[in-house]
Each structure stands twice: as C-alpha cells, then as structure tokens.
Chains A and B, each alone.
Chain A
Amino acid sequence: MTLREHSVIPGIFLGIGIMAAVDEIIFHQLLAWHHFYDKATPTIGLLSDGLLHAMELLLLVGGFFLLLEQRRLKLTNSALTWGGFFVGAGGFQLFDGLINHKVLRLHQIRYNVDVMPYDIAWNTGASILVLIGIWILLRRKRRGY
C-alpha cells in the first residue's frame, strides 16, 4: 500500500492544516498574542509566519484532494482518517507547545503575563487530542476493521 492509499494520511494533513489555521486565526490574528517567531526581529517572525501560513494552505488543499481521491477509489476508512486527524491536530499543537515554545524558545503563547498556566493548558489540550486520535486508531485495530 502506497502512502497515498493509506487513509490515515489525509487525516494527518487535515489535522495539521486545520490546527495551524486555528492557531493562526485565533492567536495570531484575532487575539494577536504571538507570532510564530517573536524572539528575533519582527521581520523574522513574519517570515516564519508566512511560511507557516503557506504550508497550512497547501496541507489543507492536498489533504482534501487525497481524501476525495481515496473516496473515489473506495479506499476510505473513516476511523483511520479521524484517528489521523486528531493525532495530526494534537501533534502539531504539541510540537508547537514543546519544541517551538520551550526547547527552541521561538515564541511564547502570551507576553507580559505568567505564561505557566497557558503552557499547561496548551500542552494538556494537545495531549488530549493526540490521545483521542490514538484511542480511535487502537479501537479500530482491536475490532479488526
């Protein structure tokens, strides 16, 4: 089975794409709490913002096309796709929360406040999404479909 025939792939693409869109629309644009990269000059922050945004749009378009193609070939497996979706969405958020925020310290969720509760809420939310995805995938395996 090639990657494009596997139902988990469009789920992951759409999960990452939609989570990145939610992050961008709510935190970058509506609340204006942070950019993708704030520590250097704002110019660099905008560069990575631009790349993130472009990537997210391509993942969304590509994910929907892959899903449609699999439906046409009757290869869809909605449990796999949903599982992939949650793992992708939570995984992106967790990557953002742990690697970008804490390890690389590219940016924080919010500035001029105690960031700890925000970090905990962010990463717990992300972990719950990943766990939901894994649970869906495992349940599918146990039931054998």
Chain B
Amino acid sequence: MATEATLAIFLCTTPALLYLTAALRQHSRGKRWSRWRSGSFCFGMLLILYAIFPSHAAHGAHGFTAHMNQHLLIGMLAPTFLVMGAPVSLLLRSLPQAQGKICVRLLHTRLLRIWCHPMTAFGLNFGGMFLLYLTPLYRLSLEHPALHHFIHLHFLLAGYLFAWSLVGPDPTPVRLRMRTRLAILLLAMASHGIFSKQMYIHAFPYDTPHSVDDIRTAAQRMYYGGDFAEVLLAILLFHQYFRRTRRHPASHRALALAN
C-alpha cells in the first residue's frame, strides 16, 4: 500500500516537476510562459493522482461506480487539462534547435498523422469502451492488476489524443476545419450518452461482482460526467475558434468561408 502510494505520487509529480522546470527556464530566459498553462497541466496531473491513489484504486476493485469515477477522471477530464497545458509547445521551445527539428519531423510522419486524427482518437476511445464493457475484458481486469493499469493508460492516451486533436493549443499533424471538429465532437457526445443509457438499461458489463444498482449509478455518472467533460471541450473549441479569428481580422472572412 505504502509503496503503491509512493509510486502513484512519483508517476504524477515527475511530469509535473519536469514541466514546471521547463516553464521556469523559459521565464529565466526572458520568454513568457502562461501561468494558466502551467496551472492547467499540474491540475491535470493532480486529477490523475487523485484517481489512481491506492485508497481510491483499491475501492475501485469493489465498486463499479468508483471504477467509473476513475474512468471519467483519467480518460476524459484529466487529458483536457493536460492538453491545455500545451506540453508539446513547451518541449519544442525548451529543446535545442536540432532536436526541436527532429520533433517537428516526427510530428509530421504519416503514422502520427493518422494516429493524431480525431477520428482515430474517437475510435480508440469508443472501441476501447466496447471491448472493456461488452466483453469479459472488464472482469479480467478485476483479476489482473496489470491489465487494469494498462486499460487506464489506454484511456488516458486515447483521451489525450482526442482532446489534443480537437482543442489542443499544441501543434498537431492534422488541423481540421471547425465544422469537421464540431461534427466529431457531436458524434462523441451522442455516442457517450447513448452508450451510458444502454449500460443503464442492460446493466452491462455482465458476470461481475457488481450489483445492478451499482452499475446503474455508474451509468448515470457516466452520462452526466461525460456531458460535463464534453461541454468543457465544446467551450474550449468555440473559445479558440473566436480567438483565432479575432487575432487575424484579415483572415476573418476566409475562415468564415472555410468553415
């Protein structure tokens, strides 16, 4: 228990400390780095720490509602805050020019282009959810802690990719038009709502030690929690759209036409 707690703290504070060091170095070089970005990244890490902290994680093995809280925090809410911290931009700024160029080239490789497409991220998220809740995978994850951790890591990465490709301030290999991004967000919101209602009705995952009541509470948590996280994404998306057109009044019309 104590070692697990230490490990959780180590896993979450290391990225945060690295991030803060890089941000402070920007300041000492006389370049600006927004405090909001730093705050957002650290808050995202804090959310993950809260979700994986052993006292909650152990609870997760007993209750499905607790598992759903973890899932929402790790897969939806925390990634949005991490993305808004713009860690890739900070990395590119902190690296020497040569390594920075390698990073940029890496960002434009075909593999990453496909991987960072919001539809891929959407597929990873919902494909993952189908596999987890509609196959015996969830039950297996209760028996095998390694699988449990791997699943959370998967949802963290998939959630990060989704938020990055939709609303990320960081450079992305693919930048889609506002209209396309709105459509994908709409699809994700609708899918989440429908999936959680199906979970409520059919009380899946089956063959688990959880009671039907527990699963229903979790499904409702998923419905409303998912809404909350997705409205947050919508707010960020519109915010960026208007700020971008405001900064370049000349491209205002072009953007309006493009969208």
Contacts and interface: CB of A to CB of B under 8 A. Distances in A.
Interface stretch (B86-94, B101-109, B160-168, B226-234): B226-234
Nearest to B196: A50
Contacts of A118: none
Nearest to B231: A57
Chain B, interface size category, equals: 20 to 34
A57 B224 CA distance: 12
Contacts of A51: 186, 190
Contact of B242 (A3, A47, A69): A69
Interface stretch (A58-66, A86-94, A131-139): A58-66
Contacts of A69: 242, 246
Interface string B100-138: 000000000000000000000000000000000000000
Interface residues of A, number: 20
Main secondary structure of the interface of A (DSSP, over half): helix
B230 A57 contact: yes
A32 interface: no
Nearest to B193: A50
A105 interface: no
Contacts of A61: 231, 234-235, 238
Contacts, number: 58
B221 interface: no
Interface string A49-84: 111011101100110010011000000000000000
A3 B253 CA distance: 11
Contacts of A39: none
B80 to A, nearest CB: 15
Contact of A50 (B194, B231, B234, B241): B194
B200 to A, nearest CB: 10
Interface in A24-47: 42-43, 46-47
19 contacts: A2-B253, A2-B256, A42-B201, A46-B197, A47-B194, A50-B189, A50-B190, A50-B191, A50-B194, A51-B186, A53-B190, A53-B193, A54-B230, A58-B186, A58-B189, A65-B238, A65-B239, A65-B242, A69-B246
In the A-B complex, the 3 residue pairs with the smallest Cβ-Cβ separation, listed nearest first, are: A54-B189, A50-B194, A50-B193
